[in-house]
Amino acid sequence: MPKIGIPILEDMGFESNASLHFGNASFFAFIEVEGGQIKTVNIKANEEAKLAKKKGITAAHFLINEKVDIVIAGSLGEGPFHVLRDSLRDLSSPKICPDRGSNSSNKPKPVRENDVAS
C-alpha cells in the first residue's frame, strides 16, 4: 500500500491547502492508497519548519522516517531532492501557473480524495 506525503498549509483534512514550499510547510498529509482508494489520511505537524536552516533537508528525513513512498510537492530545493531521490518510488511536482499575482485565482487547491490515484 503506497504512502504519499504532501506538504500542506493547515490541518483541515481533505480541505487542507497544499503548500508550495516544502520545508516551510506547517504540516504534512500522509495518505495511504490501496486499489485506487484512499485507506487512511494522517496529518502531522512539520516541526522542522521552525528551524533557521536546513528546513527542507530535515523535513525530507522526516518523510523518510514516516516511510513515505511518494512525495507530491510544488517546490523542492536541491538538498531535499537529493535526500528523497533514492528513498522514494516517485517524486512529483504538479505544474503550477507562474503568473501568481496578488489578484490571481491560481492559488493552491485543497487536497481532495479524488486527487489521489494509486
Say what percent of the chain tops pLDDT 70. Answer: 75
Q: Which residue has the higher pLDDT, 64 or 118?
A: 64
pTM: 0.74
Q: Please determine, for residue 95, whether its predicted confidence score (pLDDT) is greater than 70.
A: no
| pLDDT attached to residue 93 | 63
Q: What's the CATH number for 3-115?
A: 3.30.420.130
DSSP 32-100: EEETTEEEEEEEEE-GGGG-SS-HHHHHHHHHHHTT-SEEE-S---HHHHHHHHTT-SEEE-----S--
Q: Is the pLDDT of residue 115 over 70?
A: no
74-93 confidence digits (pLDDT tens): 878 889 988 988 788 766 66
Contacts with 76 (C-beta within 8 Å, 6 or more apart), sequence order = 22, 56, 84, 91, 93
CA Rg value for the chain: 14
Q: What are the extents of the domains in the chain?
A: 3-115
